[in-house]
Amino acid sequence: MKKLASFKSLREDFKIEDILDAFFGALLFATILFLPVYLIAFEMIIVYMYRLTLLVVLIIIALFGYIALLHYFWKKSLTLKNKEIKTDINKLFLKNTLIINAVILVLGLIFIFVLIPALWV
Amino acid sequence: MNELFKHYKNYILLLVIPYLMIMFILVYPIDFNLQSPGGLTEVENLIEVDYNNDKSIEGTISTTYIISLKRPTYFQFMLGTFTDYSTISVLTGSNLTYTNEEIATISYLDKAISVDASVIVAYQLAADSNSDIVIDYVAKTMVYGKAEYLDHYEDIAFGDQFVKLIGDNDYEVTEIAEIAANTVLEESYDWVFINEDDEQYTVSLSKDEEYGLFGITLKTYYIVDKETTYPSYTESNSNIGGPSGGLLQTLSIYNMLVTDDLTHGLKIAGTGTITYDGTVGYIGGVEQKIITAYLNKVDLFFMPSLDENYYYDNYQEALRVCEEYGIEPDGWLIPVGTFAEALDYLEGLN
């Protein structure tokens, strides 16, 4: 039987509290792991301000990594809670990751081409 | 959440100490000053004069900013050593006693004062040939420095206006030059200031036993009276501080007031403070400013010229930097001692 890949089907596998618990656990893990990465990126931007655009690109890539890691931990937490998930969780979370990363890419490009020139007055 | 902790328990225990060490390197500040190249800021984006609105300005006039990082973290310190463009020095003088927030406040105060000085100098010169232009300004004495031993340290803010102090024999002192002569008989005197909310307040300041001083530095500045000055101008908020944009701000404002375009289509940048008589003053961070201009491919870079009054020479330092990085200074690096010299140079361009 073909597995569904939607949050609606995920609700049938888990209670909403379990999904949220898994999400906040993943958020905590991903944030703690990525905190040094963001501090490094932020401090690099300050010291190498003349390479600002390049560094913003690196931050966007780091954000992609953060979102991917967040979904990885979220998925891991859910599979640890229930090993017999009927939902195609890999497909669902991949789709979700790609959508969020597309939004980050658009916001990042707006930052590079609109906000950076406007902010540095 | 608990299942994640259980699943990764061994990893967490293994990584917690290295993680804390990395975080320490990333957040712990050390008493150094790190300077790196920054960028250019077009003065038109900072100050807009409502005059000659049909005039087309082909080129650009920009100030040059650098990154001056007081108390970098260990990691930033290491980053600074990886590039030839950065300079690291030990934090000294008042920078050592002030917090980073106080240093930033002084820097923004310097910037605001330099903009007013630029407006005054540019308008005055433009008014010589155009009677429509009117410039009015008032003198204000402001708090510019505070020693650690200053009484009411937290109550008195940088930029607060000094109004008066009640000196010996109840003499009202309003001038900086009169303070020392009229505060001899007693240890404490009442000082009156106006804060940024225009509220007047009085504090009693005592002389420090060791230094015999109150521990406050005052400076007199001229602030433009925007009500009576014509044409009007607007200033945008700036997140860049310091007074070193003075010369270029003055050039750009002057260019907005006159009919000819001084830029000749060139990308003009530079550095140098401006005083009320049009003299161009010395600046810090020469190396990073030259590199910033070079990386941003400017056509002309104005620089304070040789001044015998200084033991440290901006122009010689700039020439050394040009040689080090293979920049041809002839026709690119323009030393000027006054605003008029910069103007003469631009007017002399074909």
Per-residue pLDDT of chain B (350 residues; tens, 9 = 90+): 788 888 888 998 999 999 999 999 999 999 999 999 998 999 998 999 999 888 889 999 999 999 989 899 999 999 999 988 899 999 887 778 888 899 999 999 999 999 999 999 999 999 999 999 999 999 999 999 999 999 999 999 999 999 999 999 989 999 999 999 999 999 899 999 999 999 999 999 999 988 889 999 999 999 999 999 999 999 988 788 899 999 999 999 999 999 999 999 999 999 999 999 999 998 888 999 999 999 899 999 999 987 666 666 888 899 999 999 999 999 999 999 999 999 999 999 86
B237 neighbourhood in chain A, CB within 8 Å:
121
Q: Which residues of B211-236 are buried (b: 16+ CB within 10 A; e: fewer)?
A: eeebbbbbeebbbbeeeebebebeee
Cα separation of B207 and B27, whole Å? 38
The token pair at B64 is: 């040059």
Tell whether B210 is within 8 A of chain A (Cβ): no
Whether the CB of A88 is below 8 Å from some CB of chain B: the reply is no
Q: Distance between CA B66 and CA B289 in Å, rounded?
A: 6
User: C-alpha angle with apex B142: B31 to B200, nearest 5 degrees?
Assistant: 115
**Do residues B49 and B256 lie in contact, with contact meaning Cβ atoms separated by under 8 Å?**
yes
What domains appear along chain B, each with residue ranges and CATH number? 35-68+106-134+231-347 (3.30.230), 140-221 (2.30.42)
Determine the 3-state secondary structure of A42 from DSSP: helix
**Cβ separation B39–A119 shorter than 8 A:** no
The answer to whether the beta carbons of residues B241 and B107 sit under 8 Å apart is yes
A50/B72 touch (CB, cutoff 8 Å), yes or no: no
pTM to 2 decimal places? 0.82
pLDDT tens for residues A1-49?
556 667 777 787 788 888 899 999 999 999 999 999 999 998 998 898 8
Out of B1, B22, B291, the one facing A21 most closely (by C-beta) is: B1
Using the Cβ of A17 and the Cβ atoms of chain B, whether some distance falls under 8 Å is answered with no
Helical axes B9-27 vs A16-47, angle rounded to 10°:
30
* B309 within 8 A of B59, measured Cβ to Cβ: no
Cβ–Cβ gap B292/A76 under 8 Å: no
Contacts of B240 in chain A (CB under 8 A): 120-121
Chain B contact for A62 (CB, 8 A cutoff): no
Residue B336 contacts by C-beta under 8 Å, 6 or more apart in sequence? B247, B272, B280, B302, B303, B304, B305, B342, B345
B4-11, Cβ contacts within 8 angstroms, sequence gap of 24 or more: B4/A25, B4/A26, B4/A29, B4/A73, B4/A76, B4/A77, B4/A80, B5/A25, B7/A76, B7/A80, B8/A29
Query: In Å, how far from its chain's centre is CA B8?
Result: 51
Complex ipTM value? 0.81
Name which of B151, B189, B193 is nearest B170 in CA terms: B189
Contact assessment for residue B143 and residue B193, using Cβ atoms and an 8 Å cutoff:
yes
Query: In angstroms, what separates the C-alpha of B93 from chain A's closest C-alpha?
Result: 23
